[in-house]
Each structure stands twice: as C-alpha cells, then as structure tokens.
C-alpha cells in the first residue's frame, strides 16, 4: 500500500516545480490546479471528465488512425469535448483560488511579498511557496497544490504590474 501513496515533495522540489510553472499562462495555471484538485474531487466529477476523455477516444478511433472525414464533424466534436474538459478544469482551479482568496490575501499582501513576486528568483519563490503552504494547510497528499497556487500568485502580480 505504501507504494501507492502519493510521494511528498521537499520544499526545494516544490520550489522547482513552481518556477517551471511560471513559463505558462495564468489561464493554463488554473487548468493545472484543476487537474491537481481532481485527486480530492468527488468521484462523480472525475467520472464526468473520464466520460469526456472516452468520448474523445471513441471519435478518434472511429476515424481510424489517419483517416479524416470530409466534413470534419468528428474532429470538431473532439475539439469541443476537449475544450469543455479544459474549461471545467480551469473553472475548478479558479473556484479553489476564489475559495481561499481571503486567506491568501491576508497572508500574501505584505509589501515585501509583493516585491518578491515581481522579480522571482528561486529563493523568493521558496519563501512564497512556504507561506502559501502554511496558509492553505493542505494534507501532504496534495501539498503540491501550494506550488501551483504560488505560481498563480506570482503570475497574477506580474500581470497586474505589466498590465
């Protein structure tokens, strides 16, 4: 059973993960967060996403490996289903951040932290990840969410700064 347990990451690993996440858009970060939250989601919600994935697979398989229909309707259906799945994940990520926004705002509003978020280094990201982890008080199984939320915080600060 121990081999099935979710591996816990060190603060250094979480920091590295958060730094890597800074290369993607804020919208994509919410999708990443939504994916991470699937582990803590209701089984029926995850099953809905699996149904989307199954529908996509069926469309692709019905087309054959390289055969495309003249109308392109199955491909459009696949794209629509995929986009729907991504949108659901993004909304889940956004709902999570909205649910913890007040706590995050209290813990991350210090002028010094905002300054750290504008010029991110590995050291400053480590500080932000530790603070986010302390604010969120997540179980070890989903502590990696702290890295994603820290990246969302930094990306949001940078977006506001350069908007």
- Reference 107, options 135, 136, 79, 80; nearest CA is 135
Report the distance separating Cα 157 and Cα 138, nearest Å. Answer: 23
Looking at residue 158, its pLDDT comes to: 80
Residue 51: predicted pLDDT: 75
pLDDT digits (tens, 9 = 90+) for 21-44: 999 999 999 999 998 888 776 677
Query: Residue 113 is encoded by which pair of tokens?
Result: 């932290």
Structure tokens at 64: 């054959």
pLDDT digits 0-9 by tens, 80-101: 777 888 898 899 999 999 999 9
Q: How sure is the predictor about 4, in pLDDT bands with cuts at 50, 70 and 90? A: very low
């Amino acid at each position: 059973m121990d081999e099935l347990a979710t591996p816990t990451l060190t603060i250094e690993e979480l920091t590295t993960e958060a730094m890597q996440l800074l290369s993607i858009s804020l919208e994509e970060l919410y999708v990443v967060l939504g994916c991470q939250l699937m582990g803590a989601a209701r089984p029926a919600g995850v099953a809905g996403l699996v149904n989307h994935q199954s529908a996509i697979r069926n469309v692709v398989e019905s087309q054959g490996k390289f055969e495309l229909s003249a109308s392109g309707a199955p491909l459009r259906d696949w794209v629509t289903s995929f986009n729907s799945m991504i949108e659901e994940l993004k909304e889940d990520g956004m709902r999570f951040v909205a649910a913890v926004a007040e706590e995050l705002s209290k813990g991350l509003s210090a002028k010094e932290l905002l300054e750290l978020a504008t010029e991110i280094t590995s050291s400053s990201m480590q500080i932000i990840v530790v603070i986010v982890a302390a604010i969120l008080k997540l179980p070890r199984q989903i502590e990696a969410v702290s890295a994603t939320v820290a990246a969302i915080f930094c990306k949001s600060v940078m977006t506001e700064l350069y908007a």
